[in-house]
Structure 1
Amino acid sequence: MSILSLKEDRPTPSAVYNWRIYTCAAVVSWASCMIGYDSAFIGTTIALPSFIAEFNLDSYSSSKRALISANIVSVYQAGAFFGSLFAYASSYFIGRRKSLWLFAVLFIAGAGAMLAANAERGLNVIVGTRFLAGFGIGGASNMVPIYISELSPPAIRGRLVGIYELGWQIGGLVGFWINYGISEHMAPSNTQWLIPFGVQLIPAGLLLIGSIWVPESPRWLFSKGRREEATKVLCWLRQLPATDTYMLQEIAYIDEDLTRFRDEVGAGFFKPFRALKQKSVQWRFFLGGMLFLWQNATGINAINYYSPTVFKSLGITGTNNSFLTTGIFGVVKTVITFVWLLYLIDRLGRRKLLIFGSLGGSLCMWIIGALVKTVVPKEATTGGMTSGGVAAIFFLYLWTAIYTPSWNGTPWVINSEMFDQNTRSLGQASAAANNWFWNFLISRFTPQMFLKMGYGVYFFFAALMVCSSVFVFFLIPETKAIPLEQMDRLFATKPIRGAHVVVMEELARINEVQQEETEDKPTAEQYA
């Protein structure tokens, strides 16, 4: 089998896998570039000597500086938490596409206002405007995975939602390296630290422009009763006529799912909340939120937001050395993301990747913590690299190579696909809010954790990663190649670890029966 071979739930015309579907996913994934860029640039920017001098941060104690850094970083996540919840309302009333316009505009307003900060106006300008920008990011983080999953053919859904994660890593890569570049080639000045703040407007502008071109989600249009428009969009995306057998089956799946849910719960803005009375729906909301708890429990956002602090604990001294090692960290993540996107997510599936990432990542964290405790402090007498520091950096990069194709993007993929049509937006809002809530806690308290716990931070994350492997093994089913409308069947099948095989076999038998029934009937083309 080739690297791009697919496992399909039913025979699929090759026209379905076309440039339009990939382009739409890439365009809306400018939103994740915005997220990735912030996670990478903010920690290194506030560590720039020019930023420290501008706001006289050297005059504060280490604990006070840690608190200031935590506030600057974490207020963004606080805004994102509320934005991700608000996105449920916007997506219901104005749709996925227009919601992206709205959140891009809010982000641009916040990010643009950050450029007004200086010593005279103080840090409050940055803190306040980062909340607004975070609100826009939170809404976009809700919308984009939903939008992509609702456009996607089942066989490449993981790959397309993976483009969202790829955008995150590309944004992070730029964020890591831009500060290394300006620290190397620009003299300390107000302009030096303003440039990284200004660059975040570029992906936001491209998202705003691109969202004018992409179509509305056909599944959202179907849910609003706009069948003619929805069918037209779906045919455009699949590059197939409405009379094609594949199209008739997909529309039938959508209709069946909408009818079932309206009969059981009903349509309306508040009706999905009624679905939360159902234990099966509650369970998926719980799983979605817990996936992001365990993702943040790996320690990734501690490294993303406070990479200079992390690399200092590993024995790296000097601003440029810290930025360089941080930049390489970003390169490793981006390269591995391509492998995850093109091969791993839709071939190995979600469960295996998460379990592998938990166990392998935990082992690396235990080793890093042991090195920081026993070797690095004894050798760190000069600014040069030591053998202990090199070993710790190696295992951190190995941890990155293990984490990236597992916990980095896979929770977003699972959450984008495991809810039914009528609870998908609410479920994604809950999942995204959970992501930003746990993200907020990590970004708010990481500086204090390093001050108080030292090497114990690595042992803390290592232990949590062991716990996450147990969680996935017993509670998370494999979702690859399962149609969105069949997720209820998947989650109802026991045991969880074998549910995927059972459902795929059932779908294959149903498809065989349908093909036999249609052999003796006139084709759709003959009717036309």
Structure 2
Amino acid sequence: MESHELLDSSSSPLLASPSSTAKISLIPARFRIYWLAVVLCCGAFLFGYDTGIIGGVLTFDSFHDDFRYQKAEETNVSSMSVGTQQAAAFVGCFAVWPVNNRYGRRLTTMLCSLVFCAGVVLEVVNLHSLPVFYAGRIICGLGVGGSSSVIPIFLSEMSPKEIRGRLGSYYQLMFTFGILISYWVDYGVKFMPPTSLQWQVPLGLQLIPGAVMGFGMLTSGESARWLVSKGYSEKARSSLAWVRASDVEDVEDELSSIQQGIEDEKHAVAGFTLWELLEWPNAHRILLAAGIFLAQQSTGATALAYFGPQFFSLLVGPGTIDLLLTGIFGLVKVASCGFFIIFISDRFGRKPLLLAGAAFMSICMILSSILVKIHDPGRDSGNVVPAATIALIYLNIIAFNLSWGPLPWPYASEIFPTRIREPGVACGHGMGDFLTVRYP
């Protein structure tokens, strides 16, 4: 009877508890880790969707009418809607660390989900109040910013080493996919009657992946690595056995490897002080990390993600074609990101790809500027200049997703020695984000 119950509980990831183990499982051994990856990558999808959806919403007359602001205020409303979310995400990246370290990856992810969903509720409630809407954007930013710090760590710590890189790449892919879906949702609701639902629906849809991420954690175990670091070796063994759908010797070997790795890290960081970050070799690395993240934002790809509809509207005029072009822009992003993961990610050095990407994007932007300067699309009756400019924008984003989009994170991590890797990456990323928010 006991073995029958054990098999029943392990046959469904929704019913199995993290402590249940079985030598013979009715599900594929990898199903649970892929299920965990799907749940966690909802956080990446959320960040991408939240990034992309706002640009289209701000173009709707229904949004303008409900919040009752003047046309002269449009630029300020757009800046506040985007800037508040970015600033809050920056704060969330750091604010989540003490919670993550004390209470674990699982509960922290659930908390980020709850915070994000609370922000969405404030965004969609129609009180005709921009301050309330901005408050929702801030709370959403805290949620997605916090999850962006926790989820990659959680996923990395729970993934088998032979597929860790692939699962880690899915985070970037799902972020891009979230942007893509947001563009097409904006395009679809453009044909709805211009009522409040036209802007509430695309914003409210964020609750679905937000809830999946939060409730999905109820079906998962805690990070085995975090449990070992806190001295809960038995719980770590159960969690690892659950996610591997096995309790065989491989689990014991992996657990021993985790324990040894944590001991090695403790020795490596013994006696560490923050003053070490100011010593020149380390300070140089931090400046490099900050510089590369600042350069990533300086490419303009983030601005295109947020304000794609506005950019394309300047080229082709208002209507539905601007949102259609934005949707195609999202498809190009996803396709190029997938191409990078499959064919490029680990086959070339970081520096050559970054240099080549920067050179190609510079050429695209220079040519775009020349075209727009010589032939103003707003006054030019022909279609050649807008079409050429749009093509250059698409080529630019392809180059970005093959270089400066995915590479700054592994590059920043790889330039630091183990002793200062965690604080070094945090400082470098934080400085880059701060400069981006302060000087957009």
Please classify the TM superposition score into its range, dividing by the shorter chain length: 0.7 to 0.9
Give the structure 2 partner of residue 437 of structure 1. Answer: 434
Give the distance between the partners of 2:240 and 2:283, measured in 1 at CA.
30
Give the distance between the partners of 1:137 and 1:76, measured in 2 at CA.
9
Structure 1 window deviating more from structure 2 (357-366 vs 173-182): it is 357-366
Q: In the alignment, which of 238, 247, 270 is matched to residue 263 of structure 1?
A: 270
- Do the aligned partners of residues 435 and 395 (structure 1) sit closer, same or farther apart at CA in structure 2, a change above 3 Å counting? same
> Does the Cα contact within 8 Å between 2:241 and 2:251 map onto a contact in 1?
no
Shift, 1:148, TM fit: 2.1
Gaps of 5+ in 2: 1-27
Give the structure 2 partner of residue 519 of structure 1. Answer: none
Post-superposition CA distance 1:335-371 (Å, at most 9, x none): 2222222332133354443333222222211111111
Give the distance between the partners of 1:415 and 1:236, measured in 2 at CA.
33
Give the structure 2 partner of residue 342 of structure 1. Answer: 342
Give the structure 2 partner of residue 99 of structure 1. Answer: 108
Aligned length: 412
Q: SS of 1:319's equivalent?
A: coil
Q: In the alignment, which of 71, 83, 98 is matched to residue 80 of structure 2?
A: 71
Identity %: 32
> Does the Cα contact within 8 Å between 2:237 and 2:251 map onto a contact in 1?
no
1:172-251 alignment runs, 5 A limit: 172-184=179-191, 186-237=192-243, 241-242=248-249, 247=254, 250-251=257-258
- Do the aligned partners of residues 432 and 211 (structure 1) sit closer, same or farther apart at CA in structure 2, a change above 3 Å counting? farther
Give the distance between the partners of 1:48 and 1:111, measured in 2 at CA.
18
- Do the aligned partners of residues 289 and 142 (structure 1) sit closer, same or farther apart at CA in structure 2, a change above 3 Å counting? farther
Give the distance between the partners of 2:82 and 2:89, measured in 1 at CA.
12
Q: In the alignment, which of 391, 394, 399 is matched to residue 394 of structure 1?
A: 391
Give the structure 1 partner of residue 320 of structure 2. Answer: 320
Q: SS of 2:346's equivalent?
A: helix
- Do the aligned partners of residues 190 and 34 (structure 1) sit closer, same or farther apart at CA in structure 2, a change above 3 Å counting? same
> Does the Cα contact within 8 Å between 2:221 and 2:242 map onto a contact in 1?
no
Task: Find out whether 1:329 has 2:336 as its counterpart.
Answer: no
Give the distance between the partners of 1:332 and 1:134, measured in 2 at CA.
26
Shift, 1:423, TM fit: 6.1
Post-superposition CA distance 1:467-486 (Å, at most 9, x none): xxxxxxxxxxxxxxxxxxxx
> Does the Cα contact within 8 Å between 1:40 and 1:304 map onto a contact in 2?
yes
Task: Find out whether 1:44 has 2:44 as its counterpart.
Answer: no
Shift, 1:435, TM fit: 5.9
- Report the RMSD for the aligned CA atoms in angstroms: 3.0
1:416-435 alignment runs, 5 A limit: 426=423, 429-430=426-427, 433-434=430-431
> Does the Cα contact within 8 Å between 1:117 and 1:125 map onto a contact in 2?
no
Give the distance between the partners of 2:429 and 2:216, measured in 1 at CA.
23
Task: Find out whether 1:142 has 2:141 as its counterpart.
Answer: no
- Do the aligned partners of residues 290 and 23 (structure 1) sit closer, same or farther apart at CA in structure 2, a change above 3 Å counting? farther
Give the distance between the partners of 2:286 and 2:240, measured in 1 at CA.
28
1:291-306 alignment runs, 5 A limit: 291-306=292-307
Q: Which amino acid aligns with 1:72?
A: S
- Do the aligned partners of residues 411 and 312 (structure 1) sit closer, same or farther apart at CA in structure 2, a change above 3 Å counting? same
Task: Find out whether 1:28 has 2:40 as its counterpart.
Answer: yes
- Do the aligned partners of residues 298 and 426 (structure 1) sit closer, same or farther apart at CA in structure 2, a change above 3 Å counting? same
Give the structure 2 partner of residue 501 of structure 1. Answer: none
Give the distance between the partners of 1:212 and 1:345, measured in 2 at CA.
33
Post-superposition CA distance 1:252-301 (Å, at most 9, x none): 65144233135343xxxxx7x56646666555544443332111011011
TM-score after normalising by structure 1 = 0.71
Q: Which amino acid aligns with 2:98?
A: A
Post-superposition CA distance 1:405-437 (Å, at most 9, x none): 222233334456776788666556545545653
> Does the Cα contact within 8 Å between 2:66 and 2:126 map onto a contact in 1?
no
Shift, 1:85, TM fit: 0.8
Give the structure 2 partner of residue 521 of structure 1. Answer: none
Post-superposition CA distance 1:67-94 (Å, at most 9, x none): 2210121111111111111111111111
- Do the aligned partners of residues 374 and 156 (structure 1) sit closer, same or farther apart at CA in structure 2, a change above 3 Å counting? farther
Give the distance between the partners of 1:418 and 1:251, measured in 2 at CA.
23
> Does the Cα contact within 8 Å between 1:166 and 1:338 map onto a contact in 2?
yes
Shift, 1:213, TM fit: 2.3
Q: SS of 1:406's equivalent?
A: coil
Give the distance between the partners of 2:371 and 2:104, measured in 1 at CA.
51
Shift, 1:51, TM fit: 1.3
Shift, 1:99, TM fit: 0.8
Give the distance between the partners of 2:280 and 2:331, measured in 1 at CA.
43
Task: Find out whether 1:373 has 2:406 as its counterpart.
Answer: no
- Do the aligned partners of residues 354 and 139 (structure 1) sit closer, same or farther apart at CA in structure 2, a change above 3 Å counting? same
Give the structure 2 partner of residue 169 of structure 1. Answer: 176
Structure 1 window deviating more from structure 2 (172-181 vs 367-376): it is 367-376
Shift, 1:325, TM fit: 0.8
Q: SS of 1:408's equivalent?
A: coil
- Do the aligned partners of residues 202 and 137 (structure 1) sit closer, same or farther apart at CA in structure 2, a change above 3 Å counting? same
Shift, 1:65, TM fit: 2.2
Shift, 1:163, TM fit: 0.8
> Does the Cα contact within 8 Å between 2:240 and 2:251 map onto a contact in 1?
no
- Do the aligned partners of residues 143 and 420 (structure 1) sit closer, same or farther apart at CA in structure 2, a change above 3 Å counting? farther
Give the distance between the partners of 2:167 and 2:204, measured in 1 at CA.
29
TM-score after normalising by structure 2 = 0.84
